[in-house]
Amino acid sequence: MSKYWNRKINEAEPYVAGEQPKNGQKVIKLNTNENPYPPSPMARAVLRSFDIADLRLYPDTNGTEFIEAVAEVEGVKPSQVFAGNGSDEVLALCFQTFFEKESNTDLPVLTPEFSYSFYPVFEKFYDIRSKKIPLREGLRLDADDYVNVPNCGIAIANPNAPTSRSIGLEDIRKILDANKDSVVIIDEAYAEFEDPFFTAVSLIDDYPNLCVVRTTSKSYSLAGLRVGYAIASEELIEGLKRARDSFNSYPTDRLAEKIAAASVLDVKYHEECIKKIIRTRTNTAEELKSMGFDVPDSSANFIFARPPRGIDAETLYLNLRAKGILVRYFKTPGINDRLRITIGTDDEMEKFIANVREEISNAKDS
């Protein structure tokens, strides 16, 4: 609290990110869904050839080189792409642009009960009403729960975080058809890890109310660069540009624009990294299941596992942490019996599994 802060800031409940160890600290970091593999070699090539003198000049407002690269790879028009400083910023602009605050209709934004923890932060900060839709048995999202529920907008992460589960295109269509007067955000931070791959981008020409949000942070190994994007109808993209230009008209800097563009165009490298992660995900899930963990099928680069009887999630989280292995634990009732484990390299996951095995056997002995 501070007397110098306004009411909004005094009452804000900011997002708390997963722990980032200090530089030089040796840990196995499986807590913030970063990619264990380096960015595309094309990203380094950009850095080598970049003329530092260009930094004198402001960047391009739209990040044109990047949005043209996305348009090419995704088969959409550049005018259907919007770039921002990470998808967190893109999502923040979406909430401000598409959802009603302090409206006389009082309608809420619908989000899954357990989903990306930034959504409730945005809702609070922008004074938007919210309604959490419970998940079904096994953390499953049911599209029918988003039909005939009055709302001013919908935000769904697909695959969902932290559950790792996803819904298919037919379910997304059902939600879009039932909510034609609201914008439906499909946050696809992890879509690239879907096996077989699919994306709601294929629906944007059918649904002017669909806003797909993507990021280069996870599958492109560029979390440190901060480039996220939205793919949607021109009508929605225009709205996002109005919001952006009322706040910060240069969200993607000159280097970020070029590095992200080169990375997105390196389709082959991207696919190779994803294949490796999917393979490691399958192996890790099998190992955990063989130890008695409940592991829902994951469509993301993490798994959401419930330890077997005899050791609770928080104890396991703390014991692993003491050994330099970071995973994510949420205290939230309903999901506080699970750990969210990012898929690292095979080597990292072998060490993780060996340590988990040891913890489980220690717990049995005591």
Ligand X SMILES: *Cc1c(COP(=O)(O)O)cnc(C)c1O
Which residue of 139, 157, 212, 261 would you call a contact of ligand X, by CB under 6 A? 157
Pick the closer one to ligand X by CB: 161 or 303.
161
Which residue of 166, 215, 221, 298 would you call a contact of ligand X, by CB under 6 A? 215
Which residue of 40, 62, 217, 342 would you call a contact of ligand X, by CB under 6 A? 217
Query: What span, in angstroms and rounded, lies between the C-alpha atoms of 23 and 181?
Result: 48
Stretch binding ligand X (CB under 6 A), from 81-89, 176-184, 236-244, 281-289: 81-89
Sheet strands (E) in 15-93: 28-29, 81-84
Residues 6+ apart with CB under 8 A from 173: 203
Pick the closer one to ligand X by CB: 40 or 217.
217
The distance of closest approach from Cβ of residue 332 to ligand X in the complex, given in angstroms and rounded to an integer, is 15
251 binds ligand X (CB under 6 A): no
Pick the closer one to ligand X by CB: 82 or 116.
116
Cα 234 versus chain centre, distance: 23
Stretch binding ligand X (CB under 6 A), from 54-62, 66-74, 80-88, 341-349: 80-88
Secondary structure letter of residue 96 according to DSSP: H
Say how many C-beta atoms besides its own lie within 10 A of residue 79's C-beta.
Answer: 13
307 binds ligand X (CB under 6 A): no
CA atoms within 13 A on the CB side of 245: 10
Sheet strands (E) in 242-283: none
Pick the closer one to ligand X by CB: 339 or 356.
339
86 binds ligand X (CB under 6 A): yes
Return phi, psi of residue 25, to 5°. -75, 125
The distance of closest approach from Cβ of residue 95 to ligand X in the complex, given in angstroms and rounded to an integer, is 12
Residues 6+ apart with CB under 8 A from 170: none
Site track 99-118 with ligand X (rule: CB under 6 A), x = hit: -----------------x--
Stretch binding ligand X (CB under 6 A), from 84-92, 265-273, 308-316, 353-361: 84-92
- The 3 state secondary structure assigned to 49-72 is HCCHHHHHCCCCCCCHHHHHHHHH
Which residue of 228, 251, 307, 344 would you call a contact of ligand X, by CB under 6 A? 228
Residues 6+ apart with CB under 8 A from 54: 254
Pick the closer one to ligand X by CB: 5 or 247.
247
70 binds ligand X (CB under 6 A): no
Query: What span, in angstroms and rounded, lies between the C-alpha atoms of 250 and 238?
Result: 16
CB distance 260 to 68 below 8 Å: no
Which residue of 128, 155, 161, 316 would you call a contact of ligand X, by CB under 6 A? 161
* 240-251 residues labelled b (16+ CB within 10 A) or e (exposed): bbebbeeeeebb
The distance of closest approach from Cβ of residue 118 to ligand X in the complex, given in angstroms and rounded to an integer, is 7
Query: What span, in angstroms and rounded, lies between the C-alpha atoms of 317 and 300?
Result: 20
Which residue of 139, 167, 184, 189 would you call a contact of ligand X, by CB under 6 A? 189
Residue 57 in tokens: 């000049």
88 binds ligand X (CB under 6 A): yes
Cα 131 versus chain centre, distance: 20
Site track 333-362 with ligand X (rule: CB under 6 A), x = hit: ------------------------------
Binding site for ligand X (CB under 6 A): 33, 86-88, 116, 157, 161, 187, 189, 215, 217, 223, 228
